[in-house]
Amino acid sequence: MPTSPDPSILYPDVAGFGSLAAALGAAAEGCLGDVPVTASACDPLRHATVASILPHREPLEISAWSHERRWSIRGTEPFQRMPLVDGRTDVLADIARASRAWHDGLSLDGIRRAVPFVHLTGRFEVPDNDPARLTESEWQGLRQEAAELEYVWAQTHQSLVEAAHAEPVLRALYPFTSHWALRFSTTTRPALTVVGPRLSANADGTYGVSSVMIGEDSGQFATAQEAVAVAVRLLPSGIAPTTLGG
């Protein structure tokens, strides 16, 4: 198994500053100014974080790639630790500008406009952790993820997600995927409470419905709408509104 090159080889400029945090502070003509950048204690040349003035944002995670010269960012919310923004670039000054925007509390759309390499995951910020809004945000993220997939079966998976979202009783549940199967929960992350069957998009263009709990396969269907209709019928009655997990 090939080993990663020494980071000082890929990032001699960063090594010259002693840490990625220090290099970021000097990038883009010092655009970070007085913004605190924290170096990783265990891998200072490859990892750093930049905190935000907003309490509902976790520090932006910045990572250098191991096998080629490139950096990635990941910005999450604190309750579920789900990503709101991510992205990758080989221009360190762009990382600095994204870090500044995240720190200053620029809106997610504003960050994207200011620094085009930033990718919005589709989730939106829910400062008060309202479970209904977190559920809506997760659906939005899941739908965007499905629309952006480039696999052969991507269109089939997207059709399934859209059909499930169009069904009000499923849209009220918190969605998640497991091995690309669509699942539902009556609680948000970080502690999911799984309910109902599992929906899957198959490589042959069909759709499956199965119950993991009892190992039952409810059949294969030609359309996503047919599979979703069966899933709705298999839901237990009296499902309460989604609550916070954990």
Domain boundary among 120, 141, 163: 120
Residue 167 lies in a domain: yes
- Residue 37: which domain range? 7-120
What pLDDT score does 30 carry? 85
Same domain, 221 and 160: yes
Q: Are residues 172 and 215 in the same domain?
A: yes
Amino acid of residue 71: W
Residue 126: inside a domain? no
Distances (CA, A) of 123 to 45, 66, 170: 30, 28, 18
Shared domain check, 172 and 109 = no
Is the CB of residue 228 less than 8 Å from the CB of residue 199? Answer: yes
Domain-located, residue 146? yes
pLDDT at 216: 59
What's the predicted TM-score (pTM) here?
Answer: 0.93
Cα–Cα distances in angstroms (integers) from residue 179 to residues 116, 170, 200, 212, in the given order: 31, 19, 9, 13
137 and 105 within one domain: no
Closest CA to 47 of 22, 67, 68, 29: 22
Kind of pairing, strands 207-211 and 198-201?
antiparallel
Please give the pLDDT value at position 95. Answer: 98
Shared-domain flag, residues 157 and 83: no
211 within 8 A of 198, measured Cβ to Cβ: yes
Strand partners, 216: 211
Name the burial class of residue 168, with classes exposed (0-12), middle (13-18) and buried (19+) by CB atoms within 10 angstroms of its CB: exposed
Number of separate helices (H) and strands (E) present in the chain:
9, 11
In a domain, 239, yes or no: no
Task: List the chain residues with pLDDT less than 50.
Answer: 214
Q: 7-46: b or e for each residue (b if 16 or more CB lie within 10 Å)?
A: beebbeebbebebbbbbbbbbbeeebeebebebbeeebbb
pLDDT of 80-117, one tens digit each? Answer: 999 999 999 999 999 999 999 999 999 999 999 999 99
Domain assignment present for 72: yes
- Residue ending a domain, among 88, 120, 152, is 120
Structural domain count, the chain? 2
Last residue of one domain, picked from the residues 120, 146, 178: 120
What does the pLDDT read at residue 151? 84
For residues 226 and 156, membership in a common domain is answered with yes
Provide the 3-class DSSP secondary structure of residue 4: coil
The answer on 224 and 201 residing in a single domain is yes
